[in-house]
Amino acid sequence: MPRHQYKKRKAMSDPVYESFEVEKLISYIMEDGKKSVARDIVYTMLIKLKKNENDALLTLNKAISNVMPDREVRPRRLGGASYLIPTEIQKSRRLYLALNWIINAAQGKSNKEFHSFSDKLTAEVIEASKNQGNAVAKKQQTEKLAEQNKAFAHLKW
């Protein structure tokens, strides 16, 4: 049965940096509707990036592009078996996966080294911009799984 079509809302850019990616990062970090807390975390992270690196937005965009996957696997049931079929990913989903992997990798860091979540997020973004860290490992793992299952690509329709 086909799904109901919905009208995609146009996302706004954030007021300070006028960047779509920064606004999406704020929205994904937000919990329980507390957007001001999420904004404080992200803007503190960008200020720390500006101290460590020269251009904070350039570093963030490079980190996002290093974490964005090209392909992922989707399960498809044929007969009695389930096959993992590699598929190309739309740009909006690529951005969603990249930002969530960065956030999850930052949440997984230990509290002994870092005092706040913005410190963890800063460290993860810097690592991702250098093509290192847990978020980049997650991307490589996803693309490796898609590469291993490319024999089932003909089942995609």
Domain layout of the chain by residue ranges: 20-155
Cα separation, 32 vs 40, in Å, equals 15
Q: What residues in the chain have per-residue pLDDT under 50?
A: none
Residue 84 in contact with residue 74, Cβ under 8 Å? yes
Q: Which helix (H) or strand (E) holds 83?
A: strand 81-88
76-111: burial string, b at 16+ Cβ within 10 Å, e else:
eeeeeeebbbbeebeeeebbebbbebbbebbeebee
Q: What per-residue confidence (pLDDT) applies to 8?
A: 82
Q: What per-residue confidence (pLDDT) applies to 101?
A: 95
Q: What per-residue confidence (pLDDT) applies to 127?
A: 93
Q: What per-residue confidence (pLDDT) applies to 115?
A: 84
Q: Which helix (H) or strand (E) holds 82?
A: strand 81-88
Domain topology for 20-155: Ribosomal Protein S7 (1.10.455)
